């Protein structure tokens, strides 16, 4: 059974406050995304498997621990790209595979337009990166793709999630763990998270109109 992990920490509350504010400019918005990603990364990586690894310190030999799993970071384009670098700083050997999806504005349903996964050789663990988990449509499509690829351990990594989106993902994929900084209660009629922060992709890449 997957778990739902929601951070409750003064630094998370502080940086979320700046992230959500309408007046926060794109450069600062990107910094806040990175800071929150680093905080959340501690939890999403907490249960990664390790194996004994012998080293020699300047003083003596020592048996240490190093990561033993093959890990993929899977950003959902385009907003998920804003979460890649913070995680790569911590997991420099992780693979990065991209899934491109956009939301059909008429139906609010995800449409896949790009899938960059190899035909075989699935990783042990895949971390799906998307700043916003709203309806859960894109996330569920990504999970379906990763399961077909053969990934056994899938983790969802989002900064802000709406309760309906969490419920939809957990109902369809109870084995998938979800890691978020905060959970907002609802979606509006346009399927945007309320109170949310607007369109994460537009705010990250300064394409608001």
Do the strands 132-133 and 110-115 form a parallel or antiparallel pair, or are they unpaired? Answer: unpaired
* 107 CB burial (10 A radius; 0-12, 13-18, 19+): exposed
Given the residues 70, 78, 182, 202, the one annotated as active site: 202
Tokens found for residue 59:
């003083």
Give the tokens for residue 158.
């989002």
Catalytic residue check, 139: no
Catalytic site includes residue 104: no
Report how far residue 142's alpha carbon sits from residue 124's, in angstroms, rounded to the nearest whole number: 16
Measured CA to CA, the distance from residue 202 to residue 209 in angstroms comes to 9
Catalytic-labelled residue, pool 70, 78, 182, 199: 199
**Of 107, 144, 167, 207, which one is the catalytic site residue?**
107
**Which residue in 70, 103, 124, 182 is the catalytic one?**
103
Q: How many residues does the chain have?
A: 209
CA angle 45, 164, 37 (to 5 degrees): 30
Percentages of the chain per state (helix, strand, coil), in multiples of 5: 35, 30, 35
Residue 40 near residue 7, CB atoms below 8 Å: yes
| Helix ranges (DSSP H) in 22-174 | 26-44, 84-90, 137-149, 163-172
Catalytic residues: 103, 107, 199, 202
């Amino acid at each position: 059974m997957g778990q739902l992990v929601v951070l409750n920490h003064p630094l998370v509350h502080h940086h979320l406050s700046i992230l959500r504010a309408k007046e926060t400019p794109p450069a600062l918005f990107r910094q806040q995304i990175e800071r929150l990603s680093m905080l959340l990364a501690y939890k999403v990586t907490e249960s990664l498997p390790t194996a004994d690894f012998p080293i020699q310190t300047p003083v003596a030999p020592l048996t240490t621990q190093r990561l033993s799993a093959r890990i993929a970071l899977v950003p959902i384009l385009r907003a998920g790209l804003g979460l890649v670098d913070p995680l790569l700083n911590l997991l420099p050997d992780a693979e990065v595979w991209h899934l491109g999806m956009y939301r059909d504005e008429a139906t609010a349903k995800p449409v896949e337009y790009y899938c960059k996964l190899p035909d075989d050789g699935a990783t042990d663990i895949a971390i799906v990166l998307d700043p916003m988990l709203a309806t859960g449509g894109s996330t569920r499509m990504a999970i379906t793709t990763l399961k077909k690829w053969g990934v056994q351990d899938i983790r969802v990594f989002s900064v802000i999630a709406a309760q309906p989106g969490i419920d939809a993902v957990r109902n369809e994929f109870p084995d998938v763990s979800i890691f978020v900084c905060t959970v907002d209660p609802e979606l509006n009629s346009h399927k945007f998270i309320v109170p949310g922060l607007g369109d994460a992709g537009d705010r990250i890449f300064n394409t608001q109109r």
